[in-house]
Amino acid sequence: MPATTMEQLVSLCKRRGFVFQSADIYGGLQGVYDYGPLGVELKNNIKAAWWRAMVYERDDVEGLDASLLTLRKVLHYSGHEDTFSDPMQDCKRCKARFRADHVKDGKCPECGSTELTEPRPFNLMFKTHVGPVDDGSSLAYLRPETAQAIFTQFKNVVDSTARKVPFGIAQIGKSFRNEITVRNFIFRLREFEQMELEFFVKPGTDLEWLDKWRDARIKWWVDQGLDPNKIHVKDVPADELAHYSKKTYDLEYEFPIGTEELEGVADRQDYDLGNHTRYQDELALTTKVHKNTDSTAKLAVFDEEAKKWVVPFVVEPSAGVDRAFLAVMTEAYNEEKLPNGETRTVLKLKKHLAPVKVAVIPLKRNNEQIVSLAHQIKADLLKTGIGRVMLEDSGNIGKAYRRHDEIGTPLCITVDFESIEQSPATVTLRNRDTMAQERIAVADLPKYLKEFFL
């Protein structure tokens, strides 16, 4: 099958209720999207898969869910107020605005003119005010990354869990960046979600952990259905590194718009904990000089061997949920030619990511016995804990199969006349990928589905 295009994905996402433009009826808010009935399910499943791999399956990670509104001082000392900006240029002819690093050969990406302004820094953080008085002292930011709260809560987490390095704190949540140009659907957004782990390690072991996390994260993406051949590791050149990083691997994926970043795995050293900490003199800071912070906390751990306080180094795998969504959809989208000449669109999502696990379809929606058995089956299957089971009573079996192929439902169960006439009751089970149908006793369904999904 030819490579999936962005048009195919955008069209499917709108048609089937995965993703909608925000404030669509008013013409849309640029760079902001809403996730529809199926989008919210897929997004939740991606986040659950990440949380499971990063927190539940490990013994060295705790979770956190911190606030989005962020005290100005936090982002001042983290370096974001001064350095979290992109160079911006304007086209003097067509008035378009764009990131200077998106300009090729000195030409405007919109109209090709070479009459451009000099690049100037544009801070990407959204400002707001906390409280009733809108003066400078009440300034706060919407967080530009989830990471900072992990650093500022480091001491509370350590004190409340008695964790020792190496250990990590994981968080999933919204981040906000006033990106200069937003296009390419949900690839670059002004409001987006991140899945971030800050993994605290002994200084000197950070590069080793960086490689371990790079490999673990590639494996996770493959487990979500991504073709390993379409994932590329970029060793970020020194002049492109973020202000806090000593070394970063970008995990890139072959999106329909080209090969672009999916996740960054960065060595943030002791940059953040060091900057948020006050007791400089007592600390053995390995690489940096941290001064002038207003924080009262000592964000360090006591090294029993060296008998001194040490600020841990941090390795950070940071992935975008929306980019994960786009990558998973890109990979799963298929158009297949059927023997009868028709084309079937099928979303071959991994089972654990499918928004709907099973559709229960009554063949006749005005037959009380059939409908009632379908309801009963749905209620019983829900108890198995496999996820969303949906009653699909559109009344047209062909359409129902087409719809569930398009939204990636792995199994459809059809309740027909045989189901109510025969004892023991049986139903038809249809597999999304093979389209094979088999008859199965209703009583055997829970066991079968548990084995299939869990």
Contacts with ligand ATP, residue ranges (CB under 6 A): 177, 179, 188-189, 192, 194, 261-264, 318-320, 322-323
Tell me whether residue 90 or residue 252 sits nearer to ligand ATP (CB atom). Answer: 252
Report the nearest approach of ligand ATP to the CB of residue 120 (Å): 18
Alpha-carbon distance values, 259 to 60, 91, 179, 392 (Å): 33, 26, 19, 38
Tell me whether residue 99 or residue 212 sits nearer to ligand ATP (CB atom). Answer: 99
353: its two tokens: 């990511």
Report the nearest approach of ligand ATP to the CB of residue 214 (Å): 13
80's CB contacts (< 8 A; 6+ apart) are 125, 141, 144, 148
Tell me whether residue 4 or residue 194 sits nearer to ligand ATP (CB atom). Answer: 194
Tell me whether residue 62 or residue 260 sits nearer to ligand ATP (CB atom). Answer: 260
Report the nearest approach of ligand ATP to the CB of residue 108 (Å): 20
Of how many residues is the chain composed?
A: 454
Tell me whether residue 192 or residue 313 sits nearer to ligand ATP (CB atom). Answer: 192
Report the nearest approach of ligand ATP to the CB of residue 311 (Å): 22
Tell me whether residue 190 or residue 298 sits nearer to ligand ATP (CB atom). Answer: 190
Tell me whether residue 67 or residue 259 sits nearer to ligand ATP (CB atom). Answer: 259
Tell me how far apart the alpha carbons of residues 345 and 12 are, in angstroms, rounded to a whole number: 9
Report the nearest approach of ligand ATP to the CB of residue 91 (Å): 21
148: its two tokens: 């900072």
Tell me whether residue 189 or residue 346 sits nearer to ligand ATP (CB atom). Answer: 189
Tell me whether residue 166 or residue 320 sits nearer to ligand ATP (CB atom). Answer: 320
405: its two tokens: 């192929």
Tell me how far apart the alpha carbons of residues 119 and 409 are, in angstroms, rounded to a whole number: 48
Tell me whether residue 264 or residue 410 sits nearer to ligand ATP (CB atom). Answer: 264
Report the nearest approach of ligand ATP to the CB of residue 239 (Å): 14
Alpha-carbon distance values, 60 to 305, 321, 333 (Å): 21, 23, 36
Report the nearest approach of ligand ATP to the CB of residue 30 (Å): 12
223: its two tokens: 């487990």
439's CB contacts (< 8 A; 6+ apart) are 418, 426, 427, 428, 429
**Residue with the CB atom nearest ligand ATP in the bound state:** 320
Nearest to residue 271, comparing CAs of 251, 233, 241, 239?
241
Tell me how far apart the alpha carbons of residues 257 and 9 are, in angstroms, rounded to a whole number: 12
Report the nearest approach of ligand ATP to the CB of residue 194 (Å): 5
Tell me whether residue 259 or residue 431 sits nearer to ligand ATP (CB atom). Answer: 259
Contact yes or no for 378/443 (Cβ under 8 A):
no
Report the nearest approach of ligand ATP to the CB of residue 9 (Å): 15
Report the nearest approach of ligand ATP to the CB of residue 319 (Å): 5
Report the nearest approach of ligand ATP to the CB of residue 318 (Å): 4
Report the nearest approach of ligand ATP to the CB of residue 372 (Å): 46
Tell me whether residue 183 or residue 337 sits nearer to ligand ATP (CB atom). Answer: 183
Going by DSSP bridges, is the β-strand pair 61-64/167-176 parallel, antiparallel, or unpaired?
parallel
